[in-house]
Chain A
Amino acid sequence: MKKTDVVIIGAGPVGLFAVHQLGIKGLKAVVIDNLDKAGGQCIELYPDKPIYDIPAVPECTGEELTQRLIEQIKPFNTQFFLNERVDEVRKDNENWIVKTNNDHQFIAPNIIIAGGVGSFEPRKLSLKEAEKLEGKSVFYAVKNKEQFKDKKISIFGGGDSALDWTLELSKFSKITLIHRRNEFRGAQHTLSELRKLEKSGRVSIKTPCQIDKIENEKNLKSISIKFDDGKTENIPTDIILGFFGLIMKLGPIAEWGLNMDKKTIEVNPENFETNKKGIFAAGDICTYPGKLKLILSGFHEVALASVECFKRARPNEKYRFEFTTSSKTIQNRLGKK
Chain B
Amino acid sequence: MAKITYIDKDKNKKIIEVADGLTVMEGAVQNDIPGIDADCGGSMACATCHVYVQDEWFNKIEKATDAEQDMIDMAYEPKKNSRLSCQIIVSDKLDGLVVTTPEKQS
Contacts and interface: CB of A to CB of B under 8 A. Distances in A.
Contact of A249 (B74, B80, B106): B106
B17 interface: no
Interface residues of A, number: 26
- Secondary structure dominating the interface of A: loop
Contact of A45 (B45, B66, B80): B45
Given A244-B73, A247-B48, A228 B40 contact: no
Interface residues of B, number: 19
B58 interface: no
A293 B41 contact: yes
Interface in B32-54: 39-41, 43, 45-48
A59 to B, nearest CB: 16
Contacts of B46: 45, 117, 247-248
A75 interface: no
Interface stretch (A20-28, A177-185, A299-307, A317-325): A177-185
Contacts of A246: 74
Interface string A255-278: 000000001000000000000000
Contacts of B41: 284, 293
Contacts of B45: 41, 45-46, 49
A45 B103 CA distance: 24
Contact of A41 (B40, B77, B106): B40
Contacts of A248: 39, 46, 48, 106
A246 B39 CA distance: 12
B78 A180 contact: yes
